[in-house]
Amino acid sequence: MAFVNIKNLNYQYPLTKTPALRDINLQINQGEFISIIGANGAGKSTLCYALAGFVPHFFKGEFSGTIEVAGVESNKSTLEEWVLNVGLAFQNPFNQISGAKYSVFEEIAFGLENIGVPREQMKSRVEEAMQLTGISHLADRSPYSLSGGQQQRLALTSILVMQPKLLVLDEPTSQMDPIGTREVFGVIHKLTQNGMTVVMVEHKVEWIANFATRVVALKDGSVLLEGKPNEVLTSDALMESGFGVSRYTSTAREAKKQGLWKKEKLPVTLSEAAEGFNSK
């Protein structure tokens, strides 16, 4: 039995005419790092909300099918219970800061206060989480004084301290500069190496190619493709769907037509492209 099991999931927001998710079936094993891609409006965020329980517990509307995480069904659980198992972080780090706390340390402890963790445990859990994401040195700073990458790592820490079994991340690096992106990916990579199961919406295909164990491409609310990162990211179907594939992939695809790319497999990253063009 898979760790995460999505069966025949359909969902439509209230007052809308078309479904945001259509008949999604997806199994995810423990420790996998799944990357979700797709054009604007494909349903990526909605799928994240569904995994994190906000669909259907927060966003009402028409919901059918089931989502199971670690053997428990989201429909049969309350949002309050569900958020303890599934952590969610998203795009804008600023909006994820509670606004009720004046230091990074307090901000991370906010969730633990909410669920009634005793004070003595709280401190050690916060310290442990900060160490994991490398922000221990920021403990006394104001959350509002941090850089984007630091704020996003704070948001991640605030979720990790809750000790979720599944981590859902909706474009956490989309507002980051290259340094922030590297910081955030560094943390996520470390988490997956520690065995965390991660589902992450991400557009930066080169990062996905290097880190994800599997890629799921959505189109108009349905799963268009699913497979190994290189297979999905270089497929003709993905290019035809209008998704912005890597420039190395499109260059090599053209080169292949003219016999300049000899390999069977197309590249996604710069190093794959360089290696492919150099080989005789």
Ligand X SMILES: Nc1ncnc2c1ncn2[C@@H]1O[C@H](COP(=O)(O)OP(=O)(O)OP(=O)(O)O)[C@@H](O)[C@H]1O
- Using CB under 6 A as the criterion, which residues of the chain lie in contact with ligand X when the complex forms? 13, 16, 20, 38, 40-46, 59
Contacted entry of other proteins, ligand X, Mg ion, none for residue 123, CB cut-off 5 to 8 Å set by kind? other proteins
> Least CB distance from residue 122 to other proteins, whole Å?
6
Pull the structure tokens for residue 140: 């006394």
Which residue, 17 or 257, has its beta carbon nearer to ligand X? 17
The sign of the dihedral angle between the CA atoms of 269, 215, 184, 192 is negative
Which residues would be at the binding site for other proteins (CB under 8 A)?
49, 52, 54, 58, 79-80, 83-84, 87-88, 90, 92, 94-102, 105-106, 109-119, 122-123, 144, 155, 158-159, 162
> Least CB distance from residue 220 to ligand X, whole Å?
9
Q: Which residues have a Cβ under 8 Å from the Cβ of 87 and sit 6 or more positions away?
A: 52, 159, 160, 162, 164, 166, 167, 168
> Least CB distance from residue 46 to Mg ion, whole Å?
8
Which of 87, 72, 52 is CA-nearest to residue 164?
87
Exposed, middle or buried, 16 (CB in 10 Å: 0-12/13-18/19+)? Answer: exposed
Contacted entry of Mg ion, other proteins, ligand X, none for residue 114, CB cut-off 5 to 8 Å set by kind? other proteins
Which residue, 96 or 235, has its beta carbon nearer to other proteins? 96
Question: Residue 121 phi/psi, 5° resolution?
Answer: -70, -35
